[in-house]
Each structure stands twice: as C-alpha cells, then as structure tokens.
Chains A and B, each alone.
Chain A
Amino acid sequence: MRKFFDHISRVSGAVITVHATGVGFDDLAVLETKRGASLAQVIRLEGDEVTLQVFSGTQGVSTVDRVRFLGHPMEVPFSDNLLGRILDGAGRPRDGRVALQDAPIPVGGPSVNPWVRRLPDKMVRTGIPMIDVFNTLVESQKIPIFAPAGEPYNALLGRIGLQAEADVIILGGIGLRHDDYLMFRNLFASRGVKSRTVMVVHTASEPTVEALLVPDLSLAIAEAYARKNKRVLVLLTDMTAFSDALKEVAITMEQIPSNRGYPGDLYSQLAKRYEKAVDLEDAGSITVLAVTTMPGDDVTHPVPDNTGYITEGQFYLRGGRIEPFGSLSRLKQRVNGATRDDHRAIMDGCIQLYSGYLETMEKRSMGFEMSAWDGKLLKYGKLFESRIMDLKVDISLEKALDLCWEILAGCFEPRETGIKRELIAAHWPKVRGA
C-alpha cells in the first residue's frame, strides 16, 4: 500500500476529495503537503472519488498534494508502556518522547454485546458529599458534569480523577485550553499517579477536526485495559467541543442540520462513545465521567439535551456547587442500600429539607411573613450549604453522613426531619452540634 494519489479535486473546510481506487470506507490516509503530513480519514466513497476529513485542517492544501492510504482504519499502539504518556488528537506523542512501537489496537471498534454486561454494583468514592451521599457515582457509570462557562469543572474533574479508586485513569482533552492542559498534567504528575495515567489531549489552538478522534482514542485505550481486568476511569472534557467539531464536518459535507446546526446523528455519535462505559462479566470496567459545557447555561441546548438522554444521570455544576436538584445519579440505588443503614434516609431527608429552605427563601424575597418553622429552615439551609454543598469539603461518606446528622440535630426536633424512628434512635447525636 505504498501508492500515492495526487489528484485532489476538491478542498472545502476540513474535507478534501481525491481520485483513488481500492480504498476502504473509514480507512486512514496521510496527506502530505508543504506544511508536513496530516492524518485523514475516509468519510465517503463515490466511484473513484474518495472524500476524506483531514484532521489537521486543510489550510494550504493544493491540488497537487499527495494522499497515501494506509489500508486500515484508525488504530493506536497499545501496551503498558502507554501509562504515563501523553498523546495528541491523532495519537502521536505530545510529551517529546518517542512513539510507541507496540502492536496497535483498532479505534472505534464494535460495541459490547448487552448480554455480557454485569449489573453495576460498586460505589466509586470521591470524597465529595454532594456525590457520595446524594448522587453516588457507580463503577461503569457514564455521567457528565453539566456546567455553564466559567465554572470550575476541570478542577472538579481532576479532583474526582485523583480520588476515585481506579487502576487506570485516561484523560481525553478536547479543545482544552492550554492552561487547563498544564493543570491536568501537573495534577497527574505531582501526586504520583502518573504511572497509571494516559492523557490524550487536543488543545483549543489545534485544528478542530483533530478533536474528533480524542474520545475514540481514549475509549479504545480504556477498552484495552478493561480487557486486561483493569478498572478504568475515563475523563472527557469537553464533549461540547467534540460535538462542535462534528457540527463543523457535517456542515462542510452539506448535511442538513437538525437542530441549531448540529447533525441529525448527534445522539448516535455521542451514544456510541458513552456506551463504551461497561462492567464486563469476565474482565474489568470502564467508567466515563465527562464535562458538557452548556452554552448560555441552557440545558435544552442540543449537546446537553442529547447527552442527558444518553448518560446515566448528570451532575449540575452551578455557582461553584453541585446542585442537589437537577443532579441525578441514576445508578445510585444500586449501591446506596449497602453502604450504611442511614444513607438513603439522610439522602432523602436532607434534600427535602433543603428544598423547604429554598421555598422559604423565595417566600422571604416576596416579603411574606416568616414562621418559626421558616426560621429553622433558614438556619439549616445555610449550614447545609457551607458544610456539605461547598466543593471545598473533602470527607468520607461516613463522615459526611455523621455531619448531616449533626446539622439536623442543630436545627430540628427529630420528628421534624421526617426520618424513620429507628434511624433517629440509632444516629441522632446525643450532644447538640453545630
């Protein structure tokens, strides 16, 4: 397969068309231009016209540049030597070290047969009470952090990555700001977790289309580790940037957009990636924690909307806190029955009271009278926000549950909490806290 084709008939957006034969759909090619070589992928075959998306963009491409087809779809060399490495969106080293020479694994392979999936049943501890107590993260879950611009979502993602008990952590950076890239790199280097981390990073300054491969590369590597019995945590940020790259290619291909310019297959494209999260009956697992920034803080925007339909819940990050309403871990009931006997009761009780607090706040802002009950709720809400909801809080699930009891006891009479009598008897603090 050393054949070159140099009849480029069309260059538009990140897409070129070249005359060639014997090319497979989805195959990779190398486009050689004066600026250097760039990876490209076949996205359409029409007679002898082959349309490719060029990952590093088409600036400066001329009709006499050459295309060499590799005869296979995207793949990435894989072995344990990958740990500690940093790749770019095309799978090349971006850490200045030599490229891996190990046997490659295919990227973007088929999905797991639903029949061989295990029912998820292991909690992933994060040290964040709003997750551990109220919306427990579960091994093999796929869950995004929904955040408007400006929220500290990458810091949160990094923190969960470090604290979660995973054998391998894979960071997929899509359209990452360079500062955030450095933040992640330092974070994973400094805490000695480097030996179990792989980073696949595309930064905002790089060609948009190169972002397209990051989730697939990250998940292919994750899958390879999961097959080797590893518990893998994949962090993807930002999937909105990924969707925007899809949009860009779709528009160049003159596809009719379905909603605000996004292609009609956005759901399928996102699902294909998120559904890689899995707990295998006879091997390891993949947990996917992603960031989806919400343009205009609008959850009905096509990207968060389609994501919500795919993932197993979502964490809403707003005002530097994980919102108790709107946030949902759909798998929590699979694990929170077996943690501690008071876990579910605290989870429901504290949130109901907090919602009472919000109602009271609203009444107060309307200028309505405050009752004694309102007074209790106000006190409780403030304490709950500062001691539990604040993202700075970093304590174990058990400590967090104890703290919740302490706050409740500092504000209410036992029966006002609506919690079952037996649990009150077992857990209500003897000395009043707070």
Chain B
Amino acid sequence: MNVEDGKLITVFGNLVTAWVSHFAMLNSVAYCERPDGVKLLSEVVRIRGNEVDLQVFEDTRGLRVGCRVHFTREMLSVSLGPGLLGQVFDGLQNPLPQLAKQAGNFLTCGTYIEALPSKRKWHFSPTAAVGAKLSAGETVGIVDEGIFKHHIMIPFQMMGEWTLSQLAKEGEFTTQDEIGMLENRAGVRHPLSLQQKWPVKVPLAIGKERLLPFEPLVTRVRILDTLFPIVKGGTYCIPGPFGAGKTVLQQITSRHAEIDVVVVAACGERAGEVVELLREFPELTDPRTGSSLMERTVIICNTSSMPVAAREASVYTAVTIAEYYRQMALNVLLLADSTSRWAQALRELSGRLEEIPGEEAFPAYLESRIANFYERAGCLKLKDGRVGSVTIGGTVSPAGGSFEEPVTQGTLKVVGAFHGLSRARSDARKFPAIDPLLSWSTYQGIIENSKTATAMALLKKGDEIRQMMAVVGEEGTSTADFVTMLKADLFDSVYLQQNAFEVVDSSSQRERQQTVFDVLLTFIRTPLRVDDKAQARQAIFEAMDLFRHWNHQPFGSDEFAAAMRDVDAFIERQHSVEAMDA
C-alpha cells in the first residue's frame, strides 16, 4: 500500500503539521485520522525536515495532537474515463448525488466516493491492433459516451514505447474491467482499463505541438463575438463588482457556446446558482445535438461554505477534466466562477504557513499560479494529427470592485481577452454590463476589424459627446453631435445589450450577428433626416423599436425577414431626401 504513518503535532484551521520519521513527498495525498476513526483527505504542502505541513480538505474539528496521519505516494489525482459527462462533482471529484444518497442532506467529513460509475457497462470497440507499438495518449479503442466517441487511450503517465500484447474484442465493460495488456521491452506488463488517473496539478497536454489558437469561439453573446471575441484554445477573464452579471454571463455562455464540452467550475460561490444549473440543464436541449445540455457538461461544485482547501483543488480538478477531453480532439470550454475565491484559498493557506505576504496579503507566488492555470488552456495538435482545445474563461471578483487589485492585475497579464463589467452599466440595467470602452481582446472574431473599428469609434465619440453635454447641456450641443450620441446609444441598446432571460434575444448565432451588424453599420453611416433634436430623438426611438423588434424574431423565420425589411425601409427613407446634417 506504500503507506507511511506520521503523527499530528499541530492543528491550526485547515493547516496541520505532522511528524514523520523519513519519507515525505510534496503534493502527495495523506489522510488525517480523527480519534473516532474518520479519515480526512489532506495534501502535503510543505516539508521541513521531519515536519510535514498538510492542508486538510475537510473541517478539522476534532483532530488532536497525536492523531495518526497516513501518507500515500500518490499526488492528488482525478479519475478519467467514460461517465464524466453529465456529472456533478465536488472539488475533489466526489459525485454529489451519490454523496447525498449515502450521507443525507449534509456533507459529512471523510466520505469519499469513486468518481466514475463503477457498475455501469460501456460498449467498447477496439481500434488498435494487437502488437501495435503505442505510447501515452494513443487510442486503443472507442466507447460511446452520449453524443461523443470517447477515446480509450494509453495511460498518460506511461513513459516510453509499449507493445499492445492483448486487447479485448468489441463488448460491454465496466471501468473496473481489464480490457488489454501493455508490455515494454524490459518485459514490464501493464494492464489497461477504461479509466486512468492523472494528478490535477500537472498540466495534461500530450501531443505533437501546441498551435496558435485562431478559430473564433462563438458564444452567441453579441458584445463578445463582435467586439471582444474569444477563440478556441484562448483565455479570457470577466472581472466585475458584485451583482454586475459575471455569473449570468457565464451561465448563458455555458448554454449557448458553440463548443463540444463545457466544464463549469463553481468555485467558492453560491450553492443556489449551481442548483439552477443542476435543475435546468437536464431539461434544456442543445440545439446543435438535439440531446440534453447536460450530456456535454461537467459541473465541479465547491461552493463558498464547502471546505476552503477543496476550493483550491477544484479549479485543478476542472481543468484536468477539460484537458482530458481535449486529448480526444474535442473543443472544451472551462468556465471558472470565481477565480478570486481560489486566490483567496491560496491566501488563507499562505497566511497559515506564515509565508511573507505580498499585496493585500496574497502570497508572492499568486501571479505565477494564475499564469500557470491559464497556461493550461490552448490548442493542441495530438499525436494522430487531430486538434483539440481547452478555452478558459474565469470570473474575477475584485475587492471593492476596483480592478487595481492583485488578482485582476495578475490575470490581465496572462489572458487574451478582458471583459470588464462596470457597476454603472449594471446599475443602469444594461446587460451584459461589459464596458465597451474598457474591455479588449487580442483575438480576431467573426466580424472584420475594419467594420468593428467603426462601431468602436462611434461608441467613443458618443461617450465624449455625452460627457460634454453634462457640462454644456442639450442647448449647448450641436444637432450633429446629438445625433451621433443617439446613434451610439442605439448601437449600445439594440446590439451590445442582450437580455439573458429573453428566449430569442439571449442567443445570437454567427450569421445572425453578421447580418444585423452589417445593417447597423449602414444605419450608422446613413445621415438622419432630421431638423432638430426633438426630431432626432423621435427618429432614433423609431429605429430602436424596429431593431428591437427584429432582435426578438427567430433567425430565419418569416417574421425575421419582415422585421429586417422594416429596418431597411427606415434606412431607405433617410436616403430618399438630401441629408440635413453630416
């Protein structure tokens, strides 16, 4: 069993110290045994001579000096295999429904359950030939997992080249069954099954090379796809004060994003929000596959009242599962809400370890941890030439809503897109409350830059005029400027804003965005046929109404076409007479 024992010498919150006689391994798993026999999962976080510091993933209530600590030689790992999709795990990959069945309504300490259903049979079809020379990550067979072909691969931890000496015929197997045997030149034999393990804190990326991500990831949120796009294999962050709409934005992304697999990591946030996903996702069908949305989703749920150390582990559990599906050439989106809670877990531990603190008491290694996490995203060319990707989007919950704080700043340095939410916009109920004048993306989206530049210039100009007008009043503003400002308002209101709770408007596919954006561009460039500000206001109200109505018609329907004709007619009317202003 490779187990060594130690004895507890200190207990301080979730940090404990054990005395060991000789062996200790950083990041290895250990169990602290309470006097009543309950064993609490822990991880070695520091070694100083015979003193080993551990973070305990459970409430340490009841632990005593002298309690036994059982060390293993394994690092904190997750189980990878068919049956991950559709599941709801805690931060340590315990399936929550099964925990409830076993332990009742409350989470009890020391209950750990196998992540993958062990009795369920999967239909396995071999694809590799016996005798084939294979290495880590290469496929030996396929299992049908819902809508996907789940690849059964040579365990990622196997170094060097192996010969497939046996392989099962097509048939039904559980994740526990042996399905084949590997042998290397030295004669070492290694049995194969449908599942394998991988340590969560080690990036999993086995392939030929990393590729530069470029393919737009369509979220169907207009302001993102059009102005601040993300790409498959890219990274982005959503910082914003409380109530600004981070979670709602991630929830609609998890629903509508055009991607194969979504991993949701609810990290240190409200349990109620996860319950919404749990109850609603199984009922929703994914229009792209016709199956339940849950079939492409994995939820990692370590909410704010669950143990803090497990919160730290939960984002790694999530990203490892994401990376696993990338190894099957799938495109995976990981949504982490909120990375600040994970950073706070680091801070709590660092404080207990009495490390020298950096800014706001965060540890000095905060930035490198953030960077390492986002670096696990990426586009990967696999050994067989196919390509998979992991995209990471994390929310940030800055203290006091100010972006000048360590987690936001550390994140902005490493991500490819920044979707900054503003209190002013969320207070004004302008959702998604992404501030277009603040946010940026380094990626190319679904609409050419030359076109989006026009829209961005309009937004900037509109903002300048509004600020000016606050000083000089409407009287002191020229009609031309006034019209420009109203046009910017219109673009904001009918295009950038999108109500997450409206059935049609909440999801805008690529072609729809391209169509509407082109019409809007024409509108923006068309001088309005007005004499004064009152007329301008009237005209903009009318146009807004037409565009909004258009937004509410399903794409491709007759109503959509009719609404588009109405908008075109409006623009045409402006052209029909000489423009009154430039």
Chain A residues in contact with chain B, CB under 8 A?
21-27, 43-48, 73, 108-120, 140, 255-259, 263-265, 267-268, 271-272, 275-276, 278, 280-283, 300, 302, 305-306, 308-310, 312-314, 325-326, 328, 330-331, 333, 355, 363, 366, 368-369
Which one, A24, A112, A264, A333, contacts B35 given CB within 8 A?
Answer: A24
Compute how far the CA of A265 lies from the CA of B311 in the bound complex, rounded to whole angstroms. Answer: 13
Residue B385 interfacial (CB < 8 Å):
no
Given contacts A46-B12, A47-B9, A368-B474, contact A268 B304 (CB under 8 A): yes
Which chain A positions have C-beta within 8 A of B65? 21, 23, 45-48
Q: B270, A22: Cβ atoms under 8 Å?
A: no
Which chain B positions have C-beta within 8 A of A366? 473
Q: B401, A45: Cβ atoms under 8 Å?
A: no
Residue B222 interfacial (CB < 8 Å):
no
Contacting A at CB under 8 A, from B326-359, are 341, 344, 347-348, 351, 357
Most B-side CB within 10 Å, residue of A21, A27, A114, A120: A114
Compute how far the CA of A368 lies from the CA of B79 in the bound complex, rounded to whole angstroms. Answer: 68
Q: A271, B304: Cβ atoms under 8 Å?
A: yes
Compute how far the CA of A115 lies from the CA of B95 in the bound complex, rounded to whole angstroms. Answer: 10
Residue B272 interfacial (CB < 8 Å):
yes
Q: B303, A275: Cβ atoms under 8 Å?
A: yes
In this complex, the interface size class of chain B, counting residues with CB under 8 Å from chain A, is 35 or more
Which chain A positions have C-beta within 8 A of B305? 111, 271-272, 275-276
Which chain B positions have C-beta within 8 A of A46? 9-10, 12, 65
Known: A111-B306, A112-B106, A264-B351. 12 other contacts (CB 8 A): A23-B64, A24-B35, A25-B63, A117-B271, A140-B272, A265-B308, A267-B344, A272-B304, A305-B399, A309-B242, A312-B272, A368-B475
Which 6 interchain pairs have the tightest Cβ spacing? A271-B304, A300-B400, A275-B305, A308-B242, A26-B61, A111-B305
Chain B residues in contact with chain A, CB under 8 A?
9-12, 35, 59-66, 88, 96-97, 99-100, 103-109, 241-243, 268, 270-272, 274-276, 278-279, 301, 303-306, 308, 341, 344, 347-348, 351, 357, 360-362, 397, 399-402, 427-428, 473-475, 501
Q: A113, B105: Cβ atoms under 8 Å?
A: yes
Q: B12, A115: Cβ atoms under 8 Å?
A: no
Q: A256, B361: Cβ atoms under 8 Å?
A: yes
Which chain B positions have C-beta within 8 A of A355? 428
Which one, B12, B106, B341, contacts A45 given CB within 8 A?
Answer: B12
Across the interface, name the chain B residue whose C-beta is closest to A309. B242
Q: A22, B64: Cβ atoms under 8 Å?
A: yes
Given contacts A111-B305, A114-B271, A313-B243, contact A24 B341 (CB under 8 A): no
Q: A24, B270: Cβ atoms under 8 Å?
A: no
Some 15 contacts from A to B, beta carbons below 8 A apart, are A25-B11, A27-B62, A43-B12, A45-B64, A113-B107, A115-B99, A115-B278, A267-B341, A268-B308, A268-B348, A276-B305, A305-B399, A363-B473, A366-B473, A368-B474
Given contacts A115-B97, A265-B344, contact A109 B106 (CB under 8 A): yes
Which chain B positions have C-beta within 8 A of A112? 105-107, 271
Compute how far the CA of A23 lies from the CA of B341 in the bound complex, rounded to whole angstroms. Answer: 32
Given contacts A115-B96, A267-B344, contact A305 B242 (CB under 8 A): yes
Which one, A300, A312, A333, contacts B270 given CB within 8 A?
Answer: A312
Q: B11, A328: Cβ atoms under 8 Å?
A: no
Question: How far does the Cβ of B148 sit from chain A's closest Cβ, in whole Å?
Answer: 25
Which chain A positions have C-beta within 8 A of B10? 44-47
Across the interface, name the chain A residue whose C-beta is closest to B62. A24
Compute how far the CA of A276 lies from the CA of B303 in the bound complex, rounded to whole angstroms. Answer: 12
Most A-side CB within 10 Å, residue of B35, B61, B103, B474: B61
Compute how far the CA of A395 lies from the CA of B473 in the bound complex, rounded to whole angstroms. Answer: 41
Q: B308, A119: Cβ atoms under 8 Å?
A: no
Which chain B positions have C-beta within 8 A of A333? 501
Which chain B positions have C-beta within 8 A of A276? 305
Given contacts A267-B304, A330-B243, contact A25 B347 (CB under 8 A): no
Q: B475, A115: Cβ atoms under 8 Å?
A: no
Which one, B62, B306, B501, contacts A73 given CB within 8 A?
Answer: B62
Question: How far does the Cβ of A253 sit from chain B's closest Cβ, in whole Å?
Answer: 9
Q: A25, B272: Cβ atoms under 8 Å?
A: no
Given contacts A113-B99, A305-B401, contact A120 B272 (CB under 8 A): yes
Which chain B positions have C-beta within 8 A of A27? 62
Q: A310, B304: Cβ atoms under 8 Å?
A: yes
Which chain A positions have C-beta within 8 A of B66? 21-22
Which chain B positions have C-beta within 8 A of A111? 106-107, 271, 303, 305-306
Question: How far does the Cβ of A10 sit from chain B's closest Cβ, in whole Å?
Answer: 15
Across the interface, name the chain B residue whose C-beta is closest to A278. B271
Most B-side CB within 10 Å, residue of A256, A300, A363: A256
Which chain A positions have C-beta within 8 A of B400? 300, 302, 305
Question: How far does the Cβ of A4 sit from chain B's closest Cβ, in whole Å?
Answer: 18
Across the interface, name the chain A residue whose C-beta is closest to B301. A114
Q: A25, B103: Cβ atoms under 8 Å?
A: no
Which chain B positions have C-beta within 8 A of A255? 351
Which chain A positions have C-beta within 8 A of B303? 111, 114, 275
Given contacts A267-B304, A305-B399, A308-B243, contact A119 B275 (CB under 8 A): yes
Most A-side CB within 10 Å, residue of B275, B278, B360, B473: B275
Question: How far does the Cβ of B306 sit from chain A's closest Cβ, in whole Å?
Answer: 6
Which chain A positions have C-beta within 8 A of B276? 119
Given contacts A267-B341, A267-B344, contact A24 B61 (CB under 8 A): yes
Which chain B positions have C-beta within 8 A of A281? 105
Which chain A positions have C-beta within 8 A of B306? 111
Across the interface, name the chain B residue whose C-beta is closest to A280. B105
Question: How far does the Cβ of A338 sit from chain B's closest Cβ, in whole Å?
Answer: 15
Across the interface, name the chain A residue whose C-beta is closest to B274. A114
Compute how far the CA of A282 lies from the CA of B104 in the bound complex, rounded to whole angstroms. Answer: 11
Compute how far the CA of A313 lies from the CA of B245 in the bound complex, rounded to whole angstroms. Answer: 12
Most B-side CB within 10 Å, residue of A113, A120, A282, A283: A113
Which one, B109, B347, B473, B474, contacts A110 given CB within 8 A?
Answer: B109
Q: A328, B64: Cβ atoms under 8 Å?
A: no
Given contacts A46-B9, A117-B272, A268-B308, contact A110 B107 (CB under 8 A): yes
Given contacts A111-B107, A271-B304, contact A369 B475 (CB under 8 A): yes
Q: A119, B351: Cβ atoms under 8 Å?
A: no
Which chain B positions have C-beta within 8 A of A110? 59, 106-109
Which chain B positions have C-beta within 8 A of A325? 427
Which chain B positions have C-beta within 8 A of A264? 344, 347-348, 351, 361
Which chain A positions have C-beta within 8 A of B11? 25, 44-45
